[in-house]
Structure 1
Amino acid sequence: MPKKIAFFFLLFANLLIFKVQGEDKIMEAFKKADVLYESEKYIDAFQVYSVLWQDLGVFNEGMLLKMASIKERSKEHEQALYYLSLYYRYFPDKKVLEKMSELAAAKDLQGYQYSDLKYFQMLWLRYELYGIGIGSFLALVFIVLIIKRMKEGSSPWSLVLTNVLILVGLGVAYHFSRPDAEFIVTHNHVALMQDPSAAAELVEWIDKGHKLPLLGKQDIWIQTEWKGQTVFIREHNAIFLN
């Protein structure tokens, strides 16, 4: 038994060491990319940021904004809008909304119209763990008070109703705070088809940069909406935000 305990202890210690070493390497990569960016070596900086984001799935606020800035400098506005959209999903900011609207308006792009409702939706999404934690704590407190009143022989129905409202509110907030699945068109002269088939009727040709809702997928086709009409676009012409 002592040998088994020692073995698992050593295994845990090694895993912890590897985790710390991995985090150190990631921090070094962030610093390296930031230095390259500040030195105006934008292509090299973007390559490091891309590895962090695409290969390792890690990012921070500054990284996404810098990636968007690099793509804007190179006139790749659809890529700039992609990274700004990602940033906004994780770090809701009205200034970023204004920047996206500015870039989209300059290119006459659709899908970047935001309302206060969507802004607060994203804001809740960022802090929902705190909201759920507070709501759950209040629900627990009310359960204790309900039990106490029942033991005292008093009517607990007002507390029960309040608790139900708290739980329903948490459920509604969770459901409506889910961001819509969206994608950005990545190529010019992309065909929007009436049905998921190359032989289907052509609805319209569009260029890159438009942000559209992801309504579904059928094989290589994405179902979306364009000017109030359900249309289909080939998947290789899109970059997904979810």
Structure 2
Amino acid sequence: MAFIKENEGDFTNTLYYLNLYYLFKADKKVLDKMMDLASDNELKGYKFTDAEFFFAFYHANLYYVFGGVLATFIFLLILIIKNKINKRDVLIPAIFLTSFIALFFFTINFGLDSQKGIIINDHSFLMEQPSAGANLIEEVGKGHRVEIISKNDIWYEILWDKETVYIRENNLVLIN
């Protein structure tokens, strides 16, 4: 779909589909293509960090991560049971198992997730407050990628140039 949209000259949807593909594959070629398109169209928000790459890699290989976690959990559980049967000390494997479960719980419930979106309409207004009567911060074009902080009714609170602003939900499409 990204190839088709690029041939049509629709760089916003091209970047949207490339972002979705990048979440599945975490491929450097896709990342380079997104950065080239963003720089050609002078778009903001397409500087990728190592943390974003790690998140994309984690998301793309989620089943392998869960398989590894499950295998480690079973190994530690068997080690505890074996030590208990042989009347050995089970404190150290139990501490490892508890720490491992706590880390896994934290990762699943609170980890690695930051929501992003792409502005899909030209002449989108970035407002100071979540209201049509609020002060206008800037009028932006389509294609910019932003980090979403929260949602308030029909408004998304986003980061724009390290400043918190609001944009209407119909001007933004969510990536992840």
- Residue 81 of structure 2 corresponds to residue 164 of structure 1: no
Give the structure with the higher percent helix: 1
Structure 1 residue 176: Cα displacement:
2.7
Q: Distance in 2 between matches of 1:103 and 1:203?
A: 26
Give me the CA root mean square deviation. Answer: 1.7
Q: Which residue of 2 aligns with 1:187?
A: 121
1:116 to 44, 50, 53: 50
Structure 1 residue 172: Cα displacement:
4.3
Are 1:78 and 1:208, in contact at CA under 8 Å, matched by a contact in 2?
yes
Q: Which residue of 2 aligns with 1:71?
A: 5
- Residue 31 of structure 2 corresponds to residue 97 of structure 1: yes
* Alignment gaps of 5+ in structure 2: none
Q: Distance in 2 between matches of 1:217 and 1:157?
A: 45
Q: Which residue of 1 aligns with 2:134?
A: 200
- Residue 120 of structure 2 corresponds to residue 176 of structure 1: no
Give the structure with the higher percent strand: 2
Q: Which residue of 1 aligns with 2:143?
A: 209
Q: TM-score, normalised by structure 1?
A: 0.67
Letter of the aligned partner of 2:111 in structure 1? F
Answer 1 or 2: higher relative contact order, Cα 8 Å, separation at least 6: 2
Moved over 3 A (4+): 171-175
Determine helix, strand or coil for the equivalent of 1:205: strand
Determine helix, strand or coil for the equivalent of 1:195: coil
Determine helix, strand or coil for the equivalent of 1:109: coil
Q: TM-score, normalised by structure 2?
A: 0.90
Structure 1 residue 226: Cα displacement:
0.7
Q: Distance in 2 between matches of 1:127 and 1:173?
A: 14
Percent identity for Structure 1 against Structure 2: 33
Determine helix, strand or coil for the equivalent of 1:170: helix
Q: Distance in 2 between matches of 1:158 and 1:150?
A: 12
Q: Distance in 2 between matches of 1:167 and 1:147?
A: 17
Instruction: Tell me which structure has the larger Cα radius of gyration.
Output: 1
1:235 to 160, 164, 169: 169
Letter of the aligned partner of 2:87 in structure 1? G
Letter of the aligned partner of 1:176 in structure 2? G
The count of aligned residue pairs is: 175
